[in-house]
């Protein structure tokens, strides 16, 4: 499935994502160094914060409980915020577009 990533400079890149991996792992594997993902995907660092494009927020859904608490620590949280390690890439998300959130 295609995954479009908008970096902090506003530049869009589309990659061929792998299903079964998280959106975070897909972004990291594509070489984006803006997404620190310091905890490696165990939902404890919040440095993999992304915002879901408006066309996709309903499909992707909202954060789970721990993720929700962690997102509250960000100054850049909005209604489209997710931690990308908690979103699994699936074929249903083909065409997904995400924006790397500003650094806290
Ligand atoms: Fe640490 Fe997602 S990689 S919370």
Q: How far is CA 26 from the centre of its chain?
A: 9
Question: What does the alpha-carbon distance between residue 40 and residue 80 come to, in Å, rounded to a whole number?
Answer: 22
Task: Please tell me the total count of domains within the chain.
Answer: 1
**CB of 36 closer than 6 angstroms to any ligand 1 atom:** no
Instruction: Identify the three-state secondary structure at position 64.
Output: coil
pLDDT tier, 99 (very low <50, low <70, confident <90, very high otherwise): very high
Indicate the burial class of 7 (C-beta count within 10 angstroms; 0-12, 13-18, 19 or more): middle
- Please identify which residue in the block is written with the tokens 């699936």: 90
pLDDT of residue 47: 97
* Arithmetic mean of pLDDT, 30-52: 97
Kindly give the distance from the C-alpha atom of residue 26 to the centroid of ligand 1, in angstroms, as a whole number. Answer: 13
pLDDT of residue 58: 97
ipTM for the complex shown: 0.99
Q: Residue 26: give its domain's CATH number.
A: 3.10.20.30
- The chain-wide mean pLDDT, for the chain, equals 97
Question: What does the alpha-carbon distance between residue 102 and residue 56 come to, in Å, rounded to a whole number?
Answer: 19
**Of 85, 87, 77, 76, residue with least CA distance to 44:** 85
* Arithmetic mean of pLDDT, 44-68: 97
Q: Which atom of ligand 1 is nearest to the CA of 84?
A: 2
| Two structure tokens written together for 53 | 């494009």
**CB of 24 closer than 6 angstroms to any ligand 1 atom:** yes
pLDDT of residue 83: 98
Note down the domain range covering 48.
2-100
Indicate the burial class of 49 (C-beta count within 10 angstroms; 0-12, 13-18, 19 or more): buried
Which residue out of 33, 34, 47, 50 has the highest number of ligand 1 atoms within 8 Å of its CB and is therefore the one to mutate? Answer: 47
Kindly give the distance from the C-alpha atom of residue 94 to the centroid of ligand 1, in angstroms, as a whole number. Answer: 22
**pTM across the whole model:** 0.97
> Over pLDDT 70: what percentage of the chain?
100
């Amino acid at each position: 499935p295609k995954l479009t990533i908008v970096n902090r400079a506003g530049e869009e890149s589309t990659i061929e994502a792998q299903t079964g991996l998280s959106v975070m792992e897909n972004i990291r594997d594509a070489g984006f160094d803006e997404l620190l993902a310091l905890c490696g995907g165990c939902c404890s660092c919040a440095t993999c914060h992304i915002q879901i494009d408006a066309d996709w927020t309903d499909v992707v859904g909202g954060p789970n409980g721990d993720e929700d608490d962690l997102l509250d620590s960000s100054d850049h949280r909005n209604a489209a915020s997710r931690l990308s390690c908690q979103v699994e890439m699936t074929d249903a998300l083909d065409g997904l577009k995400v924006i790397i959130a500003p650094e806290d």
